[in-house]
Amino acid sequence: MTRAMQMRWRKGAWALGAIWGSAALLAACGGGAPPSERLVNAEAAIRGAIEINANAAPPRAALHLQLAQEQVDKAKRYIADGQHQRAELALRQAQADAELAIALARNEEMKQRAESARSKVDRLRSGRPL
Amino acid sequence: MRFDVWSMRVKVLRARWLGPLCLASLAALPLGCASAPPPRQLIDARAAYNEARLGKAAELAPAELHLAKVSLNAAEQAFQDDPESAETYTLSYVALRTAELVKVQADTKQHKANLDQAQRELDRLEAEEISRTRSELLRTRSELASERQAREAAEAREHDALQKLAQAAALSVREEPRGTVIVLPGSVLFTSGEWQLTSEAQQKLGLIADTLRPQAKTHEIVVEGHTDSKGTPSSNQVLSENRARAVMDYLVLRGVPATAITSVGIGQMRPVADNATSEGRANNRRVEIIIKPSEAR
Protein backbone atom coordinates (compact mmCIF):
# COMPACT_ATOMS: atom_id res chain seq x y z
CA MET A 1 0.00 0.00 0.00
CA THR A 2 1.48 3.31 -1.03
CA ARG A 3 1.58 6.28 1.28
CA ALA A 4 -0.86 8.17 -1.01
CA MET A 5 -3.37 5.31 -0.84
CA GLN A 6 -3.10 5.22 2.95
CA MET A 7 -3.85 8.94 3.14
CA ARG A 8 -6.89 8.57 0.91
CA TRP A 9 -8.25 5.69 3.05
CA ARG A 10 -7.85 7.70 6.21
CA LYS A 11 -9.68 10.68 4.69
CA GLY A 12 -12.50 8.39 3.60
CA ALA A 13 -12.78 6.91 7.07
CA TRP A 14 -13.00 10.37 8.62
CA ALA A 15 -15.72 11.40 6.21
CA LEU A 16 -17.68 8.23 6.85
CA GLY A 17 -17.33 8.73 10.58
CA ALA A 18 -18.61 12.30 10.31
CA ILE A 19 -21.67 11.21 8.35
CA TRP A 20 -22.47 8.39 10.79
CA GLY A 21 -21.97 10.68 13.70
CA SER A 22 -24.30 13.42 12.52
CA ALA A 23 -26.94 10.87 11.55
CA ALA A 24 -26.80 9.35 15.03
CA LEU A 25 -27.04 12.82 16.58
CA LEU A 26 -30.12 13.70 14.52
CA ALA A 27 -31.82 10.45 15.48
CA ALA A 28 -31.09 11.05 19.15
CA CYS A 29 -32.47 14.57 19.03
CA GLY A 30 -35.75 13.32 17.70
CA GLY A 31 -35.53 16.42 15.58
CA GLY A 32 -35.82 20.04 16.75
CA ALA A 33 -34.16 22.18 19.40
CA PRO A 34 -34.17 21.38 23.15
CA PRO A 35 -37.49 22.49 24.81
CA SER A 36 -35.82 25.18 26.91
CA GLU A 37 -38.91 27.38 27.18
CA ARG A 38 -41.08 24.52 28.43
CA LEU A 39 -38.39 23.68 30.98
CA VAL A 40 -38.31 27.27 32.22
CA ASN A 41 -42.11 27.39 32.47
CA ALA A 42 -42.40 24.07 34.27
CA GLU A 43 -39.73 25.03 36.80
CA ALA A 44 -41.42 28.39 37.37
CA ALA A 45 -44.75 26.63 38.00
CA ILE A 46 -43.06 24.32 40.52
CA ARG A 47 -41.48 27.28 42.33
CA GLY A 48 -44.90 28.98 42.39
CA ALA A 49 -46.47 25.87 43.92
CA ILE A 50 -43.77 25.68 46.60
CA GLU A 51 -44.24 29.36 47.37
CA ILE A 52 -47.88 28.80 48.28
CA ASN A 53 -46.93 25.75 50.37
CA ALA A 54 -48.38 23.17 48.00
CA ASN A 55 -45.79 20.75 49.41
CA ALA A 56 -47.37 21.09 52.86
CA ALA A 57 -51.12 20.78 52.31
CA PRO A 58 -53.37 19.25 51.16
CA PRO A 59 -51.78 15.82 50.49
CA ARG A 60 -53.15 15.79 46.93
CA ALA A 61 -51.33 19.03 46.12
CA ALA A 62 -48.10 17.64 47.54
CA LEU A 63 -48.50 14.51 45.41
CA HIS A 64 -48.92 16.46 42.15
CA LEU A 65 -46.06 18.76 43.05
CA GLN A 66 -43.86 15.72 43.54
CA LEU A 67 -44.99 14.26 40.19
CA ALA A 68 -44.16 17.57 38.49
CA GLN A 69 -40.72 17.65 40.06
CA GLU A 70 -39.96 14.05 39.06
CA GLN A 71 -40.97 14.72 35.45
CA VAL A 72 -38.83 17.84 35.26
CA ASP A 73 -35.88 15.78 36.53
CA LYS A 74 -36.64 13.14 33.92
CA ALA A 75 -36.90 15.81 31.18
CA LYS A 76 -33.49 17.17 32.16
CA ARG A 77 -31.95 13.70 31.73
CA TYR A 78 -33.63 13.37 28.31
CA ILE A 79 -32.24 16.77 27.26
CA ALA A 80 -28.76 15.72 28.38
CA ASP A 81 -29.16 12.60 26.22
CA GLY A 82 -30.41 14.74 23.33
CA GLN A 83 -33.88 13.16 23.41
CA HIS A 84 -35.74 16.44 22.99
CA GLN A 85 -39.07 14.94 21.92
CA ARG A 86 -39.33 12.82 25.07
CA ALA A 87 -38.20 15.77 27.20
CA GLU A 88 -40.95 17.91 25.72
CA LEU A 89 -43.65 15.36 26.58
CA ALA A 90 -42.36 14.94 30.14
CA LEU A 91 -42.35 18.73 30.57
CA ARG A 92 -45.97 19.02 29.37
CA GLN A 93 -46.96 16.50 32.03
CA ALA A 94 -44.88 18.33 34.63
CA GLN A 95 -46.59 21.62 33.77
CA ALA A 96 -50.08 20.07 34.11
CA ASP A 97 -49.19 18.54 37.51
CA ALA A 98 -47.64 21.76 38.84
CA GLU A 99 -50.70 23.79 37.82
CA LEU A 100 -53.00 21.27 39.48
CA ALA A 101 -50.89 21.41 42.67
CA ILE A 102 -51.17 25.22 42.70
CA ALA A 103 -54.95 25.08 42.23
CA LEU A 104 -55.30 22.50 45.02
CA ALA A 105 -53.25 24.59 47.46
CA ARG A 106 -55.21 27.74 46.61
CA ASN A 107 -58.46 25.83 47.00
CA GLU A 108 -57.42 24.61 50.46
CA GLU A 109 -56.53 28.14 51.54
CA MET A 110 -59.83 29.57 50.24
CA LYS A 111 -61.76 26.77 51.91
CA GLN A 112 -60.15 27.51 55.27
CA ARG A 113 -60.75 31.25 54.96
CA ALA A 114 -64.42 30.63 54.15
CA GLU A 115 -64.80 28.21 57.06
CA SER A 116 -63.19 30.55 59.55
CA ALA A 117 -65.36 33.47 58.39
CA ARG A 118 -68.43 31.27 58.69
CA SER A 119 -67.60 30.18 62.24
CA LYS A 120 -66.94 33.83 63.14
CA VAL A 121 -70.45 34.70 61.89
CA ASP A 122 -71.91 31.80 63.88
CA ARG A 123 -70.12 32.90 67.05
CA LEU A 124 -71.40 36.47 66.63
CA ARG A 125 -74.90 35.20 65.97
CA SER A 126 -74.95 33.10 69.10
CA GLY A 127 -73.93 36.20 71.05
CA ARG A 128 -70.56 34.98 72.31
CA PRO A 129 -67.64 37.39 72.08
CA LEU A 130 -65.09 36.86 69.35
CA MET B 1 -73.68 -4.70 11.92
CA ARG B 2 -73.64 -5.68 15.56
CA PHE B 3 -71.91 -2.43 16.36
CA ASP B 4 -74.59 -0.38 14.53
CA VAL B 5 -77.38 -1.97 16.52
CA TRP B 6 -75.48 -1.36 19.73
CA SER B 7 -74.76 2.21 18.78
CA MET B 8 -78.47 2.82 18.02
CA ARG B 9 -79.42 1.41 21.35
CA VAL B 10 -76.95 3.73 22.96
CA LYS B 11 -78.48 6.66 21.10
CA VAL B 12 -81.95 5.81 22.41
CA LEU B 13 -80.66 5.42 25.90
CA ARG B 14 -78.73 8.67 25.67
CA ALA B 15 -81.91 10.56 24.85
CA ARG B 16 -83.42 9.27 28.08
CA TRP B 17 -80.50 9.08 30.43
CA LEU B 18 -78.22 11.73 29.05
CA GLY B 19 -76.12 12.37 32.16
CA PRO B 20 -75.19 8.93 33.48
CA LEU B 21 -74.54 7.49 30.03
CA CYS B 22 -72.32 10.24 28.72
CA LEU B 23 -69.29 8.41 30.03
CA ALA B 24 -70.36 5.18 28.37
CA SER B 25 -71.13 6.83 25.05
CA LEU B 26 -67.87 8.77 24.99
CA ALA B 27 -65.99 5.60 25.72
CA ALA B 28 -67.93 3.83 22.95
CA LEU B 29 -67.25 6.41 20.23
CA PRO B 30 -63.54 5.79 19.60
CA LEU B 31 -64.02 2.02 19.82
CA GLY B 32 -65.23 2.01 16.27
CA CYS B 33 -62.22 3.90 14.94
CA ALA B 34 -59.23 2.58 16.88
CA SER B 35 -58.20 -0.99 17.27
CA ALA B 36 -56.16 -0.56 20.50
CA PRO B 37 -57.94 0.21 23.79
CA PRO B 38 -57.57 3.79 24.99
CA PRO B 39 -54.90 4.40 27.63
CA ARG B 40 -56.02 4.48 31.25
CA GLN B 41 -55.27 8.23 31.39
CA LEU B 42 -57.70 8.93 28.52
CA ILE B 43 -60.51 6.92 30.12
CA ASP B 44 -59.95 8.79 33.38
CA ALA B 45 -59.76 12.13 31.53
CA ARG B 46 -63.15 11.53 29.90
CA ALA B 47 -64.69 10.61 33.25
CA ALA B 48 -63.14 13.63 34.99
CA TYR B 49 -64.27 15.98 32.22
CA ASN B 50 -67.84 14.70 32.38
CA GLU B 51 -67.87 14.98 36.12
CA ALA B 52 -66.72 18.60 35.83
CA ARG B 53 -69.25 19.34 33.09
CA LEU B 54 -72.16 17.98 35.11
CA GLY B 55 -70.96 19.59 38.34
CA LYS B 56 -70.58 23.19 39.43
CA ALA B 57 -67.90 23.96 36.80
CA ALA B 58 -70.42 24.61 33.99
CA GLU B 59 -71.84 27.46 36.00
CA LEU B 60 -68.86 28.64 38.06
CA ALA B 61 -65.90 28.08 35.68
CA PRO B 62 -67.20 27.90 32.08
CA ALA B 63 -63.98 29.27 30.53
CA GLU B 64 -61.82 26.75 32.38
CA LEU B 65 -64.26 23.99 31.41
CA HIS B 66 -63.83 24.95 27.77
CA LEU B 67 -60.03 24.67 28.08
CA ALA B 68 -60.48 21.20 29.54
CA LYS B 69 -62.67 20.30 26.56
CA VAL B 70 -59.99 21.52 24.14
CA SER B 71 -57.37 19.50 25.99
CA LEU B 72 -59.55 16.38 25.92
CA ASN B 73 -60.24 16.84 22.19
CA ALA B 74 -56.51 17.03 21.50
CA ALA B 75 -56.00 13.76 23.38
CA GLU B 76 -58.87 12.11 21.48
CA GLN B 77 -57.38 13.28 18.18
CA ALA B 78 -53.95 11.92 19.09
CA PHE B 79 -55.60 8.62 20.07
CA GLN B 80 -57.33 8.46 16.67
CA ASP B 81 -54.03 9.18 14.90
CA ASP B 82 -51.95 6.70 16.87
CA PRO B 83 -53.48 5.03 19.92
CA GLU B 84 -50.16 3.79 21.24
CA SER B 85 -47.94 6.82 20.71
CA ALA B 86 -46.16 8.56 23.55
CA GLU B 87 -47.91 11.77 22.50
CA THR B 88 -51.34 10.14 22.98
CA TYR B 89 -50.29 9.12 26.47
CA THR B 90 -49.03 12.61 27.34
CA LEU B 91 -52.02 14.46 25.89
CA SER B 92 -54.35 12.10 27.79
CA TYR B 93 -52.32 12.69 30.96
CA VAL B 94 -52.57 16.47 30.46
CA ALA B 95 -56.32 16.22 29.64
CA LEU B 96 -56.92 14.31 32.88
CA ARG B 97 -55.00 16.90 34.94
CA THR B 98 -56.81 19.76 33.17
CA ALA B 99 -60.23 18.23 33.89
CA GLU B 100 -59.28 17.79 37.54
CA LEU B 101 -58.00 21.35 37.59
CA VAL B 102 -61.42 22.63 36.44
CA LYS B 103 -63.16 20.77 39.24
CA VAL B 104 -60.77 22.26 41.79
CA GLN B 105 -61.16 25.76 40.32
CA ALA B 106 -64.96 25.49 40.48
CA ASP B 107 -64.63 24.33 44.07
CA THR B 108 -62.42 27.34 44.85
CA LYS B 109 -64.97 29.70 43.32
CA GLN B 110 -67.65 28.12 45.49
CA HIS B 111 -65.50 28.67 48.60
CA LYS B 112 -64.85 32.24 47.49
CA ALA B 113 -68.60 32.87 47.15
CA ASN B 114 -69.12 31.41 50.64
CA LEU B 115 -66.34 33.61 52.01
CA ASP B 116 -67.82 36.74 50.40
CA GLN B 117 -71.23 35.96 51.82
CA ALA B 118 -69.83 35.34 55.31
CA GLN B 119 -67.83 38.56 55.04
CA ARG B 120 -70.96 40.52 54.13
CA GLU B 121 -72.77 39.02 57.11
CA LEU B 122 -69.82 39.86 59.36
CA ASP B 123 -69.85 43.47 58.16
CA ARG B 124 -73.57 43.69 58.80
CA LEU B 125 -73.32 42.12 62.27
CA GLU B 126 -70.44 44.42 63.17
CA ALA B 127 -72.36 47.47 62.01
CA GLU B 128 -75.32 46.38 64.14
CA GLU B 129 -73.03 45.80 67.11
CA ILE B 130 -71.48 49.25 66.72
CA SER B 131 -74.81 51.05 66.51
CA ARG B 132 -76.12 49.09 69.48
CA THR B 133 -73.06 49.96 71.57
CA ARG B 134 -73.32 53.59 70.53
CA SER B 135 -76.98 53.89 71.52
CA GLU B 136 -76.26 52.15 74.82
CA LEU B 137 -73.45 54.59 75.46
CA LEU B 138 -75.67 57.56 74.67
CA ARG B 139 -78.38 56.23 76.96
CA THR B 140 -75.93 55.65 79.82
CA ARG B 141 -74.47 59.10 79.32
CA SER B 142 -77.86 60.81 79.43
CA GLU B 143 -78.86 58.74 82.45
CA LEU B 144 -75.70 59.83 84.24
CA ALA B 145 -76.30 63.45 83.27
CA SER B 146 -79.89 63.47 84.54
CA GLU B 147 -78.77 61.70 87.72
CA ARG B 148 -76.12 64.35 88.30
CA GLN B 149 -78.60 67.13 87.63
CA ALA B 150 -81.05 65.61 90.09
CA ARG B 151 -78.35 65.32 92.75
CA GLU B 152 -77.17 68.87 92.20
CA ALA B 153 -80.74 70.14 92.38
CA ALA B 154 -81.33 68.23 95.63
CA GLU B 155 -78.14 69.62 97.14
CA ALA B 156 -79.09 73.14 96.11
CA ARG B 157 -82.49 72.69 97.74
CA GLU B 158 -80.90 71.43 100.94
CA HIS B 159 -78.48 74.33 100.99
CA ASP B 160 -81.30 76.83 100.44
CA ALA B 161 -83.35 75.26 103.22
CA LEU B 162 -80.46 75.52 105.64
CA GLN B 163 -79.77 79.13 104.72
CA LYS B 164 -83.43 80.01 105.22
CA LEU B 165 -83.37 78.18 108.51
CA ALA B 166 -80.27 80.07 109.63
CA GLN B 167 -81.98 83.38 108.82
CA ALA B 168 -85.33 82.43 110.35
CA ALA B 169 -83.89 81.08 113.59
CA ALA B 170 -80.87 83.37 113.79
CA LEU B 171 -78.57 80.36 113.88
CA SER B 172 -75.05 79.93 112.65
CA VAL B 173 -74.65 77.40 109.81
CA ARG B 174 -71.12 76.49 108.69
CA GLU B 175 -69.74 74.24 105.98
CA GLU B 176 -66.87 72.19 107.44
CA PRO B 177 -64.97 69.13 106.23
CA ARG B 178 -66.98 66.97 108.68
CA GLY B 179 -70.23 68.27 107.14
CA THR B 180 -72.75 71.08 107.52
CA VAL B 181 -72.70 72.28 111.13
CA ILE B 182 -75.64 74.06 112.82
CA VAL B 183 -74.54 75.70 116.07
CA LEU B 184 -77.18 76.27 118.79
CA PRO B 185 -76.07 78.52 121.67
CA GLY B 186 -76.63 76.82 125.04
CA SER B 187 -78.32 79.91 126.45
CA VAL B 188 -81.07 79.64 123.88
CA LEU B 189 -81.73 75.95 124.57
CA PHE B 190 -81.38 75.39 128.26
CA THR B 191 -81.41 77.19 131.59
CA SER B 192 -78.10 77.02 133.40
CA GLY B 193 -77.08 73.59 134.58
CA GLU B 194 -80.27 71.93 133.24
CA TRP B 195 -81.00 69.81 130.20
CA GLN B 196 -84.70 70.56 129.87
CA LEU B 197 -85.35 72.35 126.55
CA THR B 198 -86.82 75.83 126.81
CA SER B 199 -89.96 76.61 124.82
CA GLU B 200 -87.91 78.87 122.55
CA ALA B 201 -85.55 75.93 122.00
CA GLN B 202 -88.45 73.67 121.08
CA GLN B 203 -89.67 76.19 118.50
CA LYS B 204 -86.23 76.47 116.87
CA LEU B 205 -85.65 72.73 116.97
CA GLY B 206 -89.04 72.27 115.31
CA LEU B 207 -87.81 74.37 112.34
CA ILE B 208 -84.55 72.43 112.28
CA ALA B 209 -86.41 69.09 112.31
CA ASP B 210 -88.42 70.18 109.25
CA THR B 211 -85.15 70.83 107.41
CA LEU B 212 -83.42 67.68 108.63
CA ARG B 213 -86.23 65.25 107.85
CA PRO B 214 -85.64 65.02 104.07
CA GLN B 215 -81.85 65.12 104.52
CA ALA B 216 -81.90 62.23 106.99
CA LYS B 217 -82.72 59.92 104.08
CA THR B 218 -79.25 60.36 102.59
CA HIS B 219 -77.17 61.92 105.38
CA GLU B 220 -76.07 60.76 108.80
CA ILE B 221 -76.79 63.33 111.56
CA VAL B 222 -74.79 63.71 114.78
CA VAL B 223 -75.80 65.87 117.76
CA GLU B 224 -72.82 67.03 119.88
CA GLY B 225 -73.12 68.61 123.36
CA HIS B 226 -70.39 71.05 124.53
CA THR B 227 -69.89 72.95 127.83
CA ASP B 228 -67.61 75.64 129.25
CA SER B 229 -64.90 74.79 131.76
CA LYS B 230 -66.83 75.74 134.87
CA GLY B 231 -67.38 72.79 137.21
CA THR B 232 -65.64 69.42 137.04
CA PRO B 233 -64.85 67.79 133.70
CA SER B 234 -66.89 64.72 134.65
CA SER B 235 -70.01 66.71 135.57
CA ASN B 236 -69.56 68.71 132.35
CA GLN B 237 -69.27 65.44 130.40
CA VAL B 238 -72.53 64.17 131.89
CA LEU B 239 -74.25 67.52 131.28
CA SER B 240 -73.12 67.63 127.65
CA GLU B 241 -74.29 64.07 127.04
CA ASN B 242 -77.69 64.77 128.57
CA ARG B 243 -78.13 67.98 126.57
CA ALA B 244 -77.14 66.32 123.32
CA ARG B 245 -79.53 63.46 123.99
CA ALA B 246 -82.35 65.90 124.87
CA VAL B 247 -81.88 67.66 121.53
CA MET B 248 -81.74 64.35 119.64
CA ASP B 249 -84.86 63.04 121.37
CA TYR B 250 -86.77 66.16 120.48
CA LEU B 251 -85.69 65.99 116.81
CA VAL B 252 -86.82 62.34 116.71
CA LEU B 253 -90.09 63.38 118.32
CA ARG B 254 -90.50 65.88 115.49
CA GLY B 255 -90.10 63.23 112.82
CA VAL B 256 -86.34 62.87 112.14
CA PRO B 257 -85.76 59.09 111.79
CA ALA B 258 -84.02 57.68 114.89
CA THR B 259 -81.88 55.42 112.69
CA ALA B 260 -80.24 58.42 111.01
CA ILE B 261 -79.32 60.36 114.13
CA THR B 262 -76.91 59.81 117.06
CA SER B 263 -75.87 61.95 120.00
CA VAL B 264 -72.56 62.37 121.79
CA GLY B 265 -71.27 64.40 124.75
CA ILE B 266 -67.95 66.18 124.30
CA GLY B 267 -67.92 67.97 127.66
CA GLN B 268 -65.44 70.86 127.97
CA MET B 269 -62.93 69.21 125.61
CA ARG B 270 -63.47 71.36 122.50
CA PRO B 271 -63.93 75.02 123.37
CA VAL B 272 -64.42 77.46 120.51
CA ALA B 273 -63.72 80.58 122.64
CA ASP B 274 -61.82 81.73 125.71
CA ASN B 275 -63.23 80.25 128.93
CA ALA B 276 -61.76 83.16 130.94
CA THR B 277 -64.45 85.62 129.81
CA SER B 278 -68.17 85.28 130.29
CA GLU B 279 -68.75 85.91 126.58
CA GLY B 280 -66.28 83.18 125.67
CA ARG B 281 -67.91 80.78 128.11
CA ALA B 282 -71.33 81.56 126.62
CA ASN B 283 -70.01 80.66 123.17
CA ASN B 284 -68.52 77.44 124.45
CA ARG B 285 -71.87 76.32 125.92
CA ARG B 286 -73.48 75.00 122.79
CA VAL B 287 -75.02 72.11 120.89
CA GLU B 288 -73.81 71.35 117.36
CA ILE B 289 -75.90 69.44 114.85
CA ILE B 290 -73.65 67.97 112.14
CA ILE B 291 -75.14 66.84 108.82
CA LYS B 292 -72.39 64.50 107.54
CA PRO B 293 -71.51 64.41 103.86
CA SER B 294 -73.46 61.71 102.05
CA GLU B 295 -71.44 58.57 101.44
CA ALA B 296 -72.65 58.30 97.87
CA ARG B 297 -70.75 61.42 96.91
Domains and CATH numbers, chain B: 33-118 (no CATH), 170-291 (3.30.1330.60)
Query: Residue B78: pLDDT above 70?
Result: yes
Cis peptide upstream of residue B214 (ω within 30 degrees of 0): no
Question: In chain A, whose CA is at the least distance from the CA of B108?
Answer: A107
Chain A residues inside the 8 Å CB shell of B111 = 107, 110-111, 113-114
Which tens digit of pLDDT belongs to each residue from A1-23?
556 666 666 665 665 555 554 54
A93 and B93 in contact by Cβ < 8 A?
Answer: yes
Per-residue pLDDT band at B1 (split at 50, 70, 90): very low
Query: Residue B61: pLDDT above 50?
Result: yes
Question: Which of A43-47, B11-15, B163-167, B286-290 shows the lowest mean pLDDT across its residues?
Answer: B11-15
196-215 of B, contacting A, C-beta below 8 A? none
- pLDDT value for B223: 94
Model pTM score: 0.54
Per-residue pLDDT band at B122 (split at 50, 70, 90): very high
Q: Is B101 on the interface with A (CB under 8 A)?
A: yes
Q: If DSSP states are collapsed to H, E and C, what string results for chain B?
A: CHHHHHHHHHHHHHHHCHHHHHHHHHHHHHHHCCCCCCCHHHHHHHHHHHHHHHCCHHHHCHHHHHHHHHHHHHHHHHHHHCCCCHHHHHHHHHHHHHHHHHHHHHHHHHHHHHHHHHHHHHHHHHHHHHHHHHHHHHHHHHHHHHHHHHHHHHHHHHHHHHHHHHHHHCCEEEEECCEEEEEEEHHHHECCCCCCECHHHHHHHHHHHHHHHHHCCCCCEEEEEECCCCCCHHHHHHHHHHHHHHHHHHHHHCCCCHHHEEEEEEECCCCCCCCCCHHHHHHHCEEEEEECCCCCC
What share of chain B has pLDDT > 70, as a percent? 87
Q: What are the CB-based long-range contacts (under 8 Å, 24+) for B22-29?
A: B22/B50, B22/B53, B22/B54, B23/B47, B23/B50, B26/B50
A120 and B122 in contact by Cβ < 8 A?
Answer: yes
- pLDDT value for A4: 63
Q: Is B105 on the interface with A (CB under 8 A)?
A: yes
Task: Give the amino acid at B29.
Answer: L
